[in-house]
Amino acid sequence: MAYGRNRFVNPGTGETYHWPVNHSEEERMGQERAISYGAPTANTGLIRHQGDRQPMILTLNGVIFHRDHYSEMIRWFARCERQSIHFYDFTGEGYEVIILAFQPQRVRTLRNPRDPAIPLHYWRYTMTMDVLTFLTAGGALWNWPV
């Protein structure tokens, strides 16, 4: 099975951006819930107080070899100041997200053959996204009530 391309979709206009290079790593994705403890006045032991689940956060790491890809990532990050966007990864999993952080680091190289406009560097990046909802069945279990 061939992998597809990561892509961003503007849900308002349908504008789609296909990434020329997919991300290379994902950090763990899941949820936590907070538990706090309080002591009752009757000296019968601690009482647990359960909080809501924490937001689902998706963190991607990768490389950018093209100046246009770098510009597009900044543009989609800026778009998230006004709206959420859809992110589909290379396996087809879809999420409605807000990009919380896009942190590129320019890296010197002897030769970048993929973009002659930037022959001596590329970028490594970390991107963090807040998952608002799942658009495909793969992550839907996280949204189900017990």
- 10-residue mean pLDDT profile of the chain (146 residues): values are 88 96 89 82 79 88 97 98 97 95 97 92 97 80 54
CA distance 141 to 146: 10
pLDDT of residue 3: 82
SS3 116: coil
Contact indicator for 57, 131 with CB cutoff of 8 Å = yes
| DSSP symbols for 107-128 | EE-S--TT-TTSTTEEEEEEEE
Reduced to 3 states (helix: H, G, I; strand: E, B; else coil), residue 133 is strand
CA 128 to chain centre: 5
Q: What are phi and psi of 120, to 5 degrees?
A: -115, 15
- Distance between CA atoms of 117 and 111, rounded to whole angstroms? 11
**Count of residues in the chain:** 146
